[in-house]
Amino acid sequence: MTRSPLSARTPASRTRPDPRHRPDDPSAATADGGERGRTTASHPDPVNADGTAGRPHPPGTPGTGGTREDPGATDGRGAVDAPRRPGVWRRGPLLAAAAVLLGLFLLLHASVPNRIGNLGSLVETFLPWFGLLILPLAAGALLRRSASAALALLVPAVAWLNLFGGLLTDKTHPAGDLMVVSHNVGAENPDPTGTARALAGSGADVLALEELAAHARGTYERELAAVYPHHTVLGTVGVWSRFPLSDTRPVDVAMDAGPLGAAKPAEEKLVDNRGLRTTVATDRGPLAVYAAHLGSVRVNPRAGLSSGQRDAGAEALGRAVAAEKTERVVLLGDLNGTPDDRAYTALTSRMEPAQEVAGAGFGFTWPAAFPVVRIDQILVRGVKPASAWVLPATGSDHLPVAARVHW
């Protein structure tokens, strides 16, 4: 059978395209269907410039002499190649790093040094509020659609819950052998009468009042006498009780530390005394009650947290409690700090905070108009808190705190 001349040709001998032909030139089309149509039909496999068979090299292919294609150029159909976006695991690296750092900060807060402006104590006083930083990080992870940032948020979330998650649950119980209340009534309280009446109606068996101003002392004694037949006042702190009181004495809370304090007469110290200890003869046996008002703290932009007097008072109060012979002890007072603060280790290592053991929520007490920190405390030893809570506001800038204890 005679072979077709076309089938006998070698690839090198194939007819080359007419150099005058421009495939993409619409003006080259003819009336019978166009030059492009005839060329495609005649040569299904175009020939490259080097004479080999195959499809033409794309622009920018090495060795072809073509130009590199512009990433933003169109493909002839009007489409533009968009740059690749990073995957969900590669987005938001800064957010993920910030979340991990926040978690480490919460876990290692005790390592923040106090050498510079008592920074560690300042951080621990407001430590619960650092959890709010999780919210903007979560919003950023959502906007970035970053899986890595979302996963990293577990670190601060778990750290915060480990520290404060227990406070979010209600641990109160209705039972209790004795109800105690502590209140810094405020030296500048505009309504001591109303405050005294509110406290008398609280149902407490024992009241501890701090910051008793000399001009208001008579008001409290008069308004509380009907409910609390027994009371004692030393300086600016006092205890009112339904039960008899005995063995009352002042407690040194280091308000007169230093050479000047040592030279101060005892009578003058008693006027400004801010700590006392008394024994309450309850139906279930003796209970040692401490009432205290520790030194105030000041936040100075240059010096940081000024808390030396308060810290010394906490140490002194801790030593007094450690030396207490009575088995059951309750400490009531304005301690000007939180149990999270390392300055209170001398107390918290020996006593339990009622709010943490039997409260519901953080129990913030100051300032009364918008409480952000709990500096008024009820600590116990030898008895168990059944419930702890915050009472409604009075004329003071502090909120009263209450607890029921049993043994």
CATH numbers and ranges of domains, the chain: 93-167 (no CATH), 172-406 (3.60.10.10)
Tell which residue, 355, 374, 383, has the closest CA to residue 171: 355
DSSP state of 29: -
Report field, pTM of the whole predicted structure over 0.85: no
Most distant CA pair in the chain, distance:
138
Residues with Cβ within 8 Å of residue 14, at least 6 apart in sequence: 43, 47, 53
Question: pLDDT 10s digit of each residue in the chain, 407 long?
Answer: 444 444 444 444 445 555 555 555 544 444 444 444 444 444 555 555 555 555 555 555 554 544 455 554 455 555 555 566 667 666 789 999 999 999 999 999 999 998 888 889 999 999 999 999 999 999 999 999 999 999 999 999 999 999 999 999 999 998 899 999 999 999 999 999 999 999 999 999 999 999 999 999 999 999 999 999 999 999 999 999 999 999 999 999 998 755 445 555 665 666 679 999 999 999 999 999 999 999 998 877 666 668 889 999 999 999 999 999 999 999 999 999 999 999 999 999 999 999 999 999 999 999 999 999 999 999 999 999 999 999 999 999 999 999 999 99
Structure token pair of residue 208: 């501890």
User: Number of C-alpha atoms within 13 angstroms, CB side, residue 150?
Assistant: 12
